[in-house]
Amino acid sequence: MTTTKLFSLLALGAGVLASCQPTPTTTSTAPSAEAAPTAAATPAPDEASARAAVARHIQTLPNAALYVPDSARVNDNEATWQVLVPRTDWANRMPNRARFEVDKQTGQVSSQPVK
């Protein structure tokens, strides 16, 4: 076998193997956008205030259209509200919701990983 044929065969094999690798999807926002608190934070003493704060925070994200804040679930975690917001691009996976923490005293919203 000639060197040219061997090289082309190796290149073809590498291309086939590379096509078998799953394509990584970028479904999360940039870390700086996730950890950044909202600018106009007001206290969030109840669930409605927490939902409103998260809805305002989501509007500042570059992929805001992926979130469904109307279907959010809110949990009371003593000092914070945990708000779980469904994402349309996560429909067939688990977890299928993004997690936000809202500080009850300051109303600051931060994105947290879902466990």
Q: Is residue 26 part of a domain?
A: no
- The parent domain of residue 46 ranges over 33-112
Counting the structural domains of the chain, the total is: 1
Q: Is residue 16 part of a domain?
A: no
Q: Is residue 60 part of a domain?
A: yes
Q: Is residue 3 part of a domain?
A: no
Helix (H) or strand (E) holding 109: strand 109-112
Chain segment 7-37, per-residue pLDDT in tens:
555 555 555 444 444 444 444 444 334 444 4
The edge-to-edge listing of strands for the beta sheet with 80-86 is 73-77, 80-86, 97-103, 109-112
Q: Is residue 100 part of a domain?
A: yes
Among all chains, which residue has been given the structure tokens 């945990």?
Answer: 82
Q: Is residue 20 part of a domain?
A: no
Q: Is residue 21 part of a domain?
A: no
Chain segment 22-78, per-residue pLDDT in tens:
444 444 444 334 444 444 568 878 899 999 999 999 999 999 999 999 999 999 998
Q: Is residue 56 part of a domain?
A: yes
